Structure 1
Amino acid sequence: MIEETPKIPQATSKRLPLYYRFLQNFSNAGKKRVSSSELSEAMKIDAATIRRDFSHFGALGRKGYGYDVQYLVNFFRQTLDQDEETDVALIGVGSLGNAFLKYNFQKNHNTRIVVAFDPKAPNEGKEMSGIPVFHPELLEEKIKEYGVELAILAVPSRSAQEMTDQLISMGIKGILNFTPVRLAAPESVRIHTIDLSVELQTLIYFIKTDEKDSQL
């Protein structure tokens, strides 16, 4: 997980996994060094933003040379703790949850769903996409058994806060929330909310704004 400090802005922290992914792509393609302009073109992020983000970590590159690709891959791997696997619990196996199970994250980085919960699952559990799925009645038992500290929340809005309270009481430290509910939690628990409807509305807004600007 990303260790945020007061020196690293939250916006920069959120871009670190993207830098790591694109730098891995450059490394896999055999590229030895890369400039901020090349990263900018590949990632569609302003080059000045990339240089500013990197400056928070000291001298990662050299003027006139650019950045050593393998050095940056190693640096961001260590910064993001990519050498250590993180197990995740999935709460809710509806359409979205089922998509998560089929994708799973370990294919692309160091996180993986190891256990899931859904009201339609039998108490003895069942397997979906190679992942054991249990009824929520076994939540506390299985969270302890699998030792997970992170959860993906993909449940109906009406049960989101109640489920969050349960997870927190069981020692969960981070929740990736895919419900539109703004969840209440103590400061010691990190919650990231991804509201797909809001993201879509934001996209539509920007498209319409771009169309209006092009007509001026």
Structure 2
Amino acid sequence: MLDESHKIPQATTKRLPLYYRFLQNFANAGQKRISSQELSEAMKIDSATIRRDFSHLGALGKKGYGYDVQELLAFFRKTLDQDEATNVALIGVGSLGSAFLKYNFHRNHNTKIILAFDTNSPHEGKKISGIDTYHPDLIEEKIKQYGVEVVILTVPSRSAQEVTDRLAQTDIKGILNFTPVRISVPEHIRVQTIDLSVELQTLIYQIKHD
């Protein structure tokens, strides 16, 4: 875990899973050590940014040697709690939600979708892509029963805040919001919003103005 007494910049925290993924690739290729320049070339991130990120984390290499791949991998595994799976629930099994269930993150990450909710599912539940799926009437009950910490929200925009208000009454710690609505939550819940249309428009703008 990161030392909470030392505030890590948000931009750095977003890159942590990427560092872990690329270090796994180098380790799988049998590489023993790596320089920030090699990571830079592989990840397309400026080497100065990488060195600055690592200095925030305290993961410093040796001058003239670079970084020990296995040591860095162990560091990021601990930092990202890779050995502890986080139970995730999905709310809204439409086209996007179905894709999440089919992929499911625990194959490559420390997250695992174990529960889903959809208005077309019966109260007694059914399996969708091997995941227990229930009617949204049971959100509060089942989230507690399954020990869910994080929710992926892929419901229609009109339902986003209503569902969020119900989630606020549970013990979840975070919401990954795929709706375009800026949902309001109490302080104990962290929200990360991914608006696909905004991301696409940003990409198009960057392409045209590059």
Task: Tell me the TM-score normalised to structure 1 length.
Answer: 0.94
Deviations 1:123-163 (A, max 9, x none): 11111111011100111111111011110000000000110
Moved over 4 A (4+): 1-6
1:183-211 superposed Cα distances (whole Å, 9 cap, x missing partner): 1112221000000000000000000001x
Q: Is the 8 A contact 1:31 1:69 kept in 2?
A: yes
How far apart, CA to CA, are the structure 2 residues paired with 1:194 and 1:2?
A: 24
Q: Is the contact between residue 36 and residue 50 of structure 1 (CA under 8 Å) also seen in structure 2?
A: yes
Q: Distance in 2 between matches of 1:199 and 1:123?
A: 36
**Which residue does 2:52 correspond to in 1?**
52
Residue equivalent to 2:17: 17
Give runs of aligned pairs for residues 156-195 of structure 1, distance below 5 A: 156-195=156-195
- Which residue number corresponds to residue 200 of structure 2? 200
Change (3 A) 1:3 1:126: farther
CA pair 5-118 structure 1, distance change in 2 beyond 3 A: farther
**1:87-118 CA-partner distances (Å, limit 9, x unpaired):** 10000000000000000000111100000000
Residue in 2 aligned with 1:123?
Answer: 123
Other-structure match for 1:104: 104
Contact in 1 for aligned 2:59/2:75 (Cα 8 Å): no
Q: Distance between the aligned counterparts of 2:4 and 2:114, measured in 1?
A: 26
Show structure 1 runs of 5+ residues with no match. 211-216
Distance in 2, Cα, partners of 1:59 & 1:80: 14
Q: Aligned to 1:56, what secondary structure does the other structure show?
A: helix
CA 1:59–1:109: 2 relative to 1, 3 Å? closer
The structure-2 alpha-carbon separation of the partners of 1:59 and 1:19, relative to structure 1 and needing over 3 Å to count, comes to closer
Equivalent residue for 1:35? 35
**2:78 counterpart residue number:** 78
Shift of 1:55: 0.6
1:2 deviation in Å? 6.8
In the comparison of the two structures, how many residue pairs are matched?
210
Q: CA deviation at 1:3?
A: 7.0
Cα contact 1:2–1:81 (8 A) shared by 2: no
Inter-partner Cα distance in structure 2 for 1:77 and 1:30: 18
8 Å CA contact retained: 1:4, 1:10: no
Name the CA shift for 1:59/1:104 in 2 (closer, same or farther; >3 Å): closer
Alpha carbons of structure 1 residues 103 and 59: separation in structure 2 relative to 1, 3 Å: closer
Deviation track 1:67-97 (CA, whole Å, cap 9, x = no partner) reads: 0000000000001111111110000000000
- Alpha-carbon shift at residue 119 of structure 1 (Å): 0.3
* Letter of the 2:122 counterpart: P
| 2-structure distance, mates of 1:177, 1:131 | 20
- Contact 2:91 2:118 survives alignment (8 Å): yes
Is the 2:140–2:169 contact (alpha carbons within 8 Å) kept by the matching residues of 1?
no
